[in-house]
Structure 1
Amino acid sequence: MTVLTVCLAAQGSLPVWLATIILGRDVGLAISAIYYRWISLPPPKTFARYWDFSLPSAEVRPTTISKYNTFLQLALVGLTTAAPVLTYDLSTPLTVLQYIVATTTVWSGASYVFSKDAVKILSAPKDKPA
């Protein structure tokens, strides 16, 4: 998705402002994932333990708007890629879809920031008393 977004924007098929919003959200989510992994990793915090995924420390649950956003982004990228070979003029529907995708992308990013259920820090398992 990232490569297609960059390629379509570089070719001029996708507006740069929209590609920036899409990629900005993805970068923000990636930075957040790095941050949450670091703060939730039990000590000792080492490079090897950071990348040891047998030590789960946080769980991310996709929000509903994020699922819709993914579908709409895939639809936009697919239609934008196919538009040059189709006999229909898709310029107006694509423009409308671009604004919808921009809105849902911002909404999706905000939903992760403001939702209390999107990220759950997993606590270390407690030993049962004997």
Structure 2
Amino acid sequence: MNKTILTVALTLFGLITLFVSSSVLFDWFGIRQKEGNFVTAVVWANWLCGFLYLISAYFIFKGNLAAKNTLSVALGFILLGYVYLFIHIQSGVLYEIKTFMALAFRLILTGIFLLTTIKILRK
């Protein structure tokens, strides 16, 4: 993967993340109702990550290693989201299994983005 592909992938993922999470948070297009028992703190974490993905894309485009830091912070937000989700589940409150799966996907993809960024920007 080269710098351009990574920049485009992060930009698209960031925009999609912002659209979906803000649609749930701010109830755009009736999406909140379709989400079922979503976990608000997890959606907020995803929303913040959307901005971090866009910032990382900009840094990668500029060849700036700060992209590594912003992706590391995004990974931290996702991990905190997981911790909160586990606490949420243990408290017996309703949740959707798709929340767990979406966080797993986001965790893996962000990790791939981070490792790829480190590899590309070291050259």
TM-score where L is the length of structure 1: 0.37
TM-score where L is the length of structure 2: 0.38
**Higher share of residues assigned strand:** 1
| Structure possessing the higher radius of gyration over alpha carbons | 1
